[in-house]
């Protein structure tokens, strides 16, 4: 039991370290002359702590959303704030009567996800405009993307997937539209050139996202496999892929009951796939190479780890990951909703932990910064 207790403490502390720190303060609302309306009253203190948690979350969201925060302000209640505070410490302010200072850590990753999903819901069809494509290369069940509208009427697999996805997009106040027309691709692709082709042929200003379900057959066996590719068309890029080996012959999927039973695990992934692309900022983020020069030498790796740790904490950088580390510098792959120029400016003006990053050059895909202490 003692070891379990220590493990829980370590887990909680680790979670706290990964959150964003905050410090807020405030005074309890008291009625002059009422002795019981002071911080010595547990009810008054509990109410103030809840209000301060709300204040910490509100300030973080204001910084993250800017002027857009006013659209979601009503949702940020004391109960809402409670969900996103990982740990906190309460200190009474001696010089100020009935005043508390609250310090601790917020679950900023969860707040970012909430904000992105909430914004998507608020924008509705003006935010995400998805088109659905279905294709199959599985034996006698083969079908081309141009047949999508037909297949969601007479194919058990296409019907089930389209229905499930439609439900998820409705929750986001958006409508999933079946693809109609011709396409130069017979199956989804991760090739940049072919994604560009997809964007040109499908987008045309009407759609900004593609959800493509593809049924195939194992090359050396008779079992089927289904993949879900989610593409952003603004900019054109692959956002996420979800796959499931169905462990049944493709021919068995012509039976509606067999198809439903076989697809159940995959259908459960669909909500996760759609939610992931939105909540993690994958769908409409720009993809950049961020190069940091001047960190080579014997301390290069240690400096890279220091920069990476700080990058992971920033609200304007989505999923920074190492691309290359060499003697002359380090390259990260980053996603951001900012333009390259805006991102470079934000990086330069941010206060980093013991170092500075100075803008060197910027183009539409690559940002070069110089490191200094």
Q: Please name the helix (run of DSSP H) or strand (run of DSSP E) that holds residue 232, with its range, or none.
A: strand 223-233
The span from the CA of 9 to the CA of 308, in Å, is: 26
Per-residue pLDDT tens digits for 204-227: 678 889 999 999 987 777 789 899
Per-residue pLDDT tens digits for 79-127: 999 999 999 999 998 888 889 999 999 998 899 889 888 888 888 777 7
pLDDT computed for residue 204 by the predictor: 61
Mean pLDDT along residues 23-50: 82
Asked whether residue 15 carries a pLDDT value surpassing 70, the answer given is no
| Boundaries of every domain in the chain | 2-121, 127-279, 286-372
Using alpha carbons only, what angle is made at residue 369 by residues 295 and 355, rounded to the nearest 5 degrees? 55
Residues 6+ positions from 172 with CB-CB distance below 8 Å:
117, 120, 121, 124, 127, 128, 274, 278
* For residue 300, cis peptide bond before it (omega within 30 degrees of 0): no
> What does pLDDT average to over the chain?
85
Q: What is the DSSP letter of 285?
A: P
The two beta strands, 329-336 and 318-326, are antiparallel
User: Residue 51 has which token pair?
Assistant: 């209000």
- Selecting from 3.30.70, 1.10.3470, 2.30.29, 3.40.50, what CATH number does the domain 127-279 have? 3.40.50
Per-residue pLDDT tens digits for 122-173: 887 777 899 999 999 987 889 999 999 999 999 999 999 999 999 988 988 8
Q: What is the DSSP letter of 252?
A: G
The span from the CA of 250 to the CA of 141, in Å, is: 7
pTM (2 d.p.): 0.71
The span from the CA of 175 to the CA of 57, in Å, is: 32
Asked whether residue 30 carries a pLDDT value surpassing 80, the answer given is no
Using alpha carbons only, what angle is made at residue 236 by residues 166 and 136, rounded to the nearest 5 degrees? 50
Residues 6+ positions from 263 with CB-CB distance below 8 Å:
157, 160, 161, 226, 244, 246
User: Residue 57 has which token pair?
Assistant: 């979350």
| Four-residue CA torsion sign, 46, 110, 234, 158 | negative
The span from the CA of 168 to the CA of 207, in Å, is: 17
Asked whether residue 6 carries a pLDDT value surpassing 80, the answer given is no
């Amino acid at each position: 039991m003692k070891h379990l207790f220590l493990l829980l403490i370590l887990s909680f502390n680790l979670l706290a370290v990964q959150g964003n720190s905050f410090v807020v303060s405030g005074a309890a609302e008291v009625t002059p002359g009422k002795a019981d309306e002071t911080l010595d009253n547990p009810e008054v203190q509990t109410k103030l702590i809840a209000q301060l948690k709300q204040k910490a979350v509100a300030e973080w969201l204001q910084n993250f959303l800017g002027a857009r925060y006013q659209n979601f302000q009503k949702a940020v209640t004391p109960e809402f704030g409670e969900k996103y505070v990982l740990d906190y410490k309460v200190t009474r302010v001696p010089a100020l009567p009935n005043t508390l200072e609250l310090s601790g850590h917020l679950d900023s990753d969860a707040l970012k996800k909430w904000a992105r999903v909430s914004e998507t819901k608020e924008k509705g069809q003006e935010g995400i405009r998805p088109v659905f494509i279905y294709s199959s290369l599985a034996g006698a069940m083969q079908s081309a993307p141009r047949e999508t509208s037909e297949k969601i009427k007479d194919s058990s697999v296409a019907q089930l997937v389209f229905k499930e996805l439609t439900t998820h997009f409705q929750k986001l106040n958006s409508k999933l539209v079946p693809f109609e027309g011709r396409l130069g691709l017979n199956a989804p692709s991760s090739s940049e050139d072919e994604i560009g082709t997809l964007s040109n042929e499908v987008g045309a200003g009407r759609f900004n996202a593609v959800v493509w379900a593809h049924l195939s057959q194992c090359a050396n066996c008779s079992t089927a496999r289904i993949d879900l590719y989610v593409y952003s068309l603004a900019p054109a890029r692959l956002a996420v892929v979800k796959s499931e080996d169905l462990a049944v012959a493709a021919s068995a999927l012509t039976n509606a009951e067999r198809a439903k039973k076989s697809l159940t695990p995959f259908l459960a992934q669909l909500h996760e796939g759609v939610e992931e692309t939105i909540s993690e900022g994958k769908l409409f983020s720009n993809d950049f190479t961020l190069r940091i020069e001047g960190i080579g030498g014997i301390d290069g790796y240690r400096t890279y780890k220091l920069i990476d740790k700080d990058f992971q904490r920033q609200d304007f950088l989505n999923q920074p990951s190492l691309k290359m580390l060499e003697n002359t510098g380090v390259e990260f792959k980053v996603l951001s909703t900012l333009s390259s120029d805006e991102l470079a400016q934000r990086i330069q003006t941010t206060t980093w932990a013991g170092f500075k990053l100075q803008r060197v050059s910027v183009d539409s895909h690559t940002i070069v910064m110089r490191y200094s202490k």
